[in-house]
Chain A
Amino acid sequence: MLVILCPYCGVEAEETELTAGGEAHLERFGPSSSDSEFENYLFMRKNEKGITFERWHHTYGCGKWFHAARCSMTMEIFGTYPAQTSKPPKKLISMIKKKRPEWGEGK
């Protein structure tokens, strides 16, 4: 049962206070997109074994959505950051690279 730091209110929230929201940084495709673009956006997920960027909602708490970088194998949490961004912070990326040199971002 995970414990994840909410970057908004600073609470080390327990999983029961949170709601998982799936893969982070999806780009929305609207009415002008092709069928395959729309399909990719709506249904296709990376489901990475290893480092994954995902959305969490502090439901029983400040009510904010945030993002977490987590290893889906070991459950290690590398860091969390606000959801108002389209990609993970550079600092976090370099920290992960340092800890996991074999990890290639965005593969």
Chain B
Amino acid sequence: MSSRLSTGGKLIDRSLSKEFMFNGRRLKGFEGDTLASALLANDQVMVGRSFKYHRPRGIVASGSEEPNALMETGSGSKLEPNQRATTTKLFDGMRVKSQNHWPTLEFDLGAINSTFSKFFPAGFYYKTFIHPRFAWKYLFEPIIRKAAGLGNAPKEKDCDTYEYFYAHVDLLIIGGGIAGLAAASSAVKSGLKVLIVEQNDYWGGRAIVDEINIENGSGSDWIYQQVKSLSNEKNVNLRLNMMAAGVYDHGYVLLHETLTDGSNKKMELRQRLWRVRAKQTIVATGAIERPLAFAGNDLPGVMLASAVRDYLVNFGVSCGDRTVIVTNNDDAYRTAILMKNAGLEVPCIIDARPSVSESLSKQVQSLGIKILTGKAVSTVTGSKRVEGVAICSHAGSGEVLETVACDCVAMSGGWSPVVHLWSHCGGKLEWDKKNYMFKPDLTSAPLGANGEGMLTVAGTANGFLISRDVLSDGYTKSKEIIKALTGKVPKISMEKAHSGDESEILPVWFMPQGATRKLKSKTWLDFQNDVKVSDVELAAQEGFESVEHTKRYTTLGMATDQGKLSNINGLAVLSNSLNVSIPDVGTTTFRPPFQPISLGAIAGEARHELFKPIRKTSIHNWINANGGVWEPVADWRRPFCFQRNGESIKEAVEREIVNTRTNCGILDASTLGKILVKGPDAARFLDMIYTNVMSNLKVGKCRYGLMCSENGFLSDDGVVARLSDDSYLCHTTSGGSDRIHAHMEEWLQTEWWDWKVYTLNLTEQFSQIAIVGPKARQLIEKMGVDGLDLSPEGLPFMGFSEGFIAGISVRIFRISFSGELSYEIAVPALKAQEFWDLALISGEEFEVMPYGTEALHVMRAEKGFIMIGDETDGTVIPQDLGLDWAISKKKEDFIGKRAQMRSFMKSENRWKLVGLKTIDPSVVLPDGCYAVDGESNSYGHKNMIGRVTSSYFSPTLERSIALALVENGPDRMNEILNFPNLDGSVTKAAICDPVFFDKEGKNQNV
């Protein structure tokens, strides 16, 4: 069994015990434990079920490469699924549940899949669920979704907070092992700004466990000293619990910092996503041990040899009383030595190599541990945990020679440098023929903005496996980088690590060499996704020769551990099946993030009220307090209507319309875009920007104008006022002000840069308040005007004046979007609420009422006025909307003119604007519905001949009205069109003039 030893454990504090619940059982751990070490200390060897076959699975690793031990921690608003037990800190009162089983971890019904595993080969889903088609959606997928999958998504909102932080450094060092620390100490004196980060919560990496000697002391002492002296340096920043998730162009690196362990029940800042811009980066991320592939290697109790060592040294946890070591290299011997020295049994070391000679093996033998050379594991025995190993010759097919009882198998297939970060932004790999691993090809580094390398790799990550070389490479790489950054070669005292030579590794990708198909189908490559040696071989046999195809077909390396343990073994099996070398098979692409990061960290602060900016006008709070029903208009909020007690929204809208048309309405039109265009060439410029002529507009007058894109399509509209000879105020739509201002600037800066024009977006300087209706003039006069003549002659339709109303400085435009007598009054935004309040007081006797956007929309539709975004969709030209009168024929050029000359823009068959009246006046056509002509095209689709663009019930006309684009519409007056509805019924409507109300304009010309 696995247990806590009475002594030892470098990272734990035995004086602080921690209680936690695992699947309802109360267990104990210590301060400093990870969840994994605490579970092992309590003999909880089985921790989950596999993805596909629901096989019992145990902890394999001790770090971020762990494929099996994914847990659900916390509850409610603190629930976090898929937490890796090996990297999750234990805290007092922690509640943990294992995942992917039903009903319990020990008895899982899904495990029946394992019994039938030969019916679930690679590509099973592709092969099986293709017919009948409908069954996938209704039968197979729901069942598979239920059976597969990891943790449950939290049901409550995450109560914690997350944030970003932008940092700029000269040198970023990723990895706080000896290579990283050596690099950081070298950089101290250079004066460079250095950030060194480590994903664990302690410095030193593997050197803490594998006691090494540096100079005359222990590795642990050296690490302690380095960290201590670095902490005192102003230009160096050291950060633990910070995982480098990804490397991107131009030295951009994403770092994920875990700030708290989740033990706090209240809201807290949980994680921080660092967006670092580094001039240079040194990746010193070490290596990950590779599992060996043998039958039964997925049984709980089969672990990486280095992990067994980690649990023993760092946490004082024995992973088994009797541990059999299986290896193809010297490193696993260290595990044997440490276990034996801790008083535990190591019955034997099974070494696939024919012979071993170096110092480690001698040490092992002196401890009385048997070394079985040239041997392999035929199979691991046991059902829910290891009970023994059956040993065979590595050269054979798996015939059992002897069986050794044990409760833990520590395996080592060699090491793979962590090259992920090197590869993220284009670093290439090369095959190391001596150590049988991929390592960075330093001649093809990821390039920065200047075309020079921006990232290098040092230490074990660079393929050095012996501490002596690892430390020295840390110094060397740092030296090169400092020279690249400062131009000077730094003086560095390079300290030395001492280590003996090791004997060579034997490449073993599965064992024994001639394993039978039966053994291979119980030999796991990818633990999380249940991919076996037999699956990869089957894929190769079925023609999946590319590693990228094999990956997708078998799902090898596609689990949440991203194949950290499985990739190399899988590649090797594929290369073996295809009979080509491993480097010729190639690797799959490494992509960020290195480790999964939470959606909370990705969202950062952009949640709740910070999710999306909301723009508010000066009248916003008043509207909010007076029944305003909000709707989003671009980033603005505008009131759809003002709802009164007991009134439905429809009733409110109709009341507002009727009142505006009979008395007086007031509208907050502040969101309207207002762009000031000024300069000697302003008139010439606007003649290019607008389809109509603006240069002949008289000072003091307004003109409605249209803007098109260079592709000819209608882009925005609005009223232009000429303020003076050389200045214009251009009104845009509410959603269009930023876009149109940018459009003007783009043309000015990049095409007509010699024209003397300046533009400024003044949208927010002025609030625009529209006073509309037959009594509008009386209302304003009541407010008290100074310097203004509001008489029809003094301020005619499409004119504007400047003066004072109620003592407030205003610019008053006589323009109308409703067909009524209407004034739009621009007041400084900070005065807008005051003006609004005064208008309401003065307006009481004229029965003034505020109205919202829906009333505005209905009134403009009654008048047949188009709305950008309703009647236009980026494919509509002004000519389609009967706006030919606003397109100058005299002007030689304007933006969009050439495009509108193209044959299809002039086609007779274009869909053009018409009005529609439903035969049944109470029926309102659905927005966006289509008219059909009863014929079908060659695909059997019904021919569509038009579409509704705006549709309302008009209280003015007491009937439904609609605007539509209909093929050749204006020539089809009074024709009745059919609009099919979703329920199969058809609504009939007659084509009519798009101006439904007061065509002659007598309401506005008063």
Contact = CB atoms under 8 A, between A and B. Distances in A.
Interface string A56-100: 010100011100000100111100000110000000000000010
A31 to B, nearest CB: 5
* Most chain A CB within a 10 A radius of its CB, from B450, B745, B750: B750
A106 interface: no
Contacts of A84: 749-750, 753
Interface stretch (B233-241, B247-255, B812-820): B247-255
B347 to A, nearest CB: 54
B500 interface: no
B899 interface: yes
A57 B252 CA distance: 21
B893 interface: yes
Contact of B892 (A14, A31, A33, A65): A31
Contact of B749 (A14, A33, A64, A74): A64
Contacts of B251: 3
A76 B450 contact: yes
Interface in B707-738: 710-711
Given A1-B252, A42-B710, A42-B711, A29 B898 contact: yes
Contact of A74 (B447, B711, B750, B897): B447
Nearest to B898: A31
Contacts of B742: 57, 59
A2 B251 CA distance: 9
A29 B897 CA distance: 11
Instruction: Tell me what chain B mostly uses at the interface: helix, strand, loop, or mixed.
Output: mixed
A67 to B, nearest CB: 9
B277 A3 contact: yes
A32 B268 CA distance: 65
A75 B449 contact: yes
Nearest to B893: A30
A21 B449 CA distance: 19
B887 to A, nearest CB: 13
B845 to A, nearest CB: 48
B877 to A, nearest CB: 15
A76 B250 CA distance: 8
B133 interface: no
A28 interface: yes
Nearest to A83: B750
Nearest to B741: A63
Nearest to B903: A35
Interface in B862-899: 892-893, 897-899
A30 B447 CA distance: 42
Interface string A35-65: 1001000100000000000010101000111
B746 interface: yes
Interface string A1-23: 11110000000001000000100
A13 B926 CA distance: 47
Contacts of B898: 29-31, 33, 38
B751 interface: yes
Q: Please indicate which of the listed interface residues B248, B449, B892 has the most CB atoms of chain A within 10 Å of its own CB.
A: B449
Interface residues of A, number: 28
Contacts, number: 64
B749 A31 contact: no
B451 interface: yes
B267 to A, nearest CB: 28
A72 B405 CA distance: 61
Contacts of A2: 249-250, 449
B901 interface: yes
A63 B277 contact: no
B1002 interface: no
Given A30-B893, A31-B897, A71 B746 contact: no
Contacts of A99: 451
Contacts of B252: 1, 3
Contact of B449 (A3, A30, A64): A3
B252 to A, nearest CB: 4
Contact of B753 (A14, A33, A63, A83): A83
B137 interface: no
A33 B902 CA distance: 11
B449 A77 contact: yes
B746 A57 contact: yes
Contacts of A35: 902
Contacts of A42: 710-711, 899
A1 B753 contact: no
A84 to B, nearest CB: 4
A73 B173 CA distance: 26
Nearest to B738: A59
Contact of A75 (B249, B746, B897): B249
B287 to A, nearest CB: 28
Nearest to A59: B742
Contacts of A1: 248-250, 252
Contacts of A38: 898-899, 902
A15 B544 CA distance: 39
Contacts of B750: 55, 65, 83-84
- Residue among B251, B710, B898 having the largest count of chain A Cβ atoms under 10 Å: B898
Nearest to B450: A76
B273 to A, nearest CB: 14
Q: Which of B711, B749, B897 has the most CB of A within 10 A?
A: B749
A63 B248 CA distance: 26
Contacts of A31: 892-893, 897-898, 901
Contacts of B745: 63, 65
Contacts of B893: 30-31
A96 to B, nearest CB: 11
A72 to B, nearest CB: 12
Interface string B740-759: 00100110011101000000
Contacts of B749: 64-65, 83-84
Contact of B277 (A14, A55, A57, A83): A14
Most B CB within 10 A of own CB, among A33, A63, A74: A74
A3 B250 contact: yes
Contacts of A77: 449-450
Contacts of B711: 42
A84 B754 CA distance: 9
A76 B447 contact: yes
A71 B451 contact: yes
Nearest to B711: A42
B899 A75 contact: no
A70 B892 CA distance: 37
Contacts of A3: 250-252, 277, 449
Given A1-B252, A3-B251, A75-B447, 12 more contacts: A1-B250, A2-B249, A3-B250, A14-B277, A21-B746, A30-B897, A31-B897, A38-B898, A59-B742, A76-B449, A84-B749, A84-B750
15 contacts: A2-B249, A2-B250, A3-B449, A30-B892, A31-B901, A42-B711, A55-B750, A57-B742, A65-B746, A71-B451, A75-B250, A76-B450, A77-B450, A84-B749, A84-B753
Minimum-distance CB pairs A-B, first 7: A76-B451, A84-B753, A1-B252, A65-B749, A3-B250, A30-B893, A75-B249
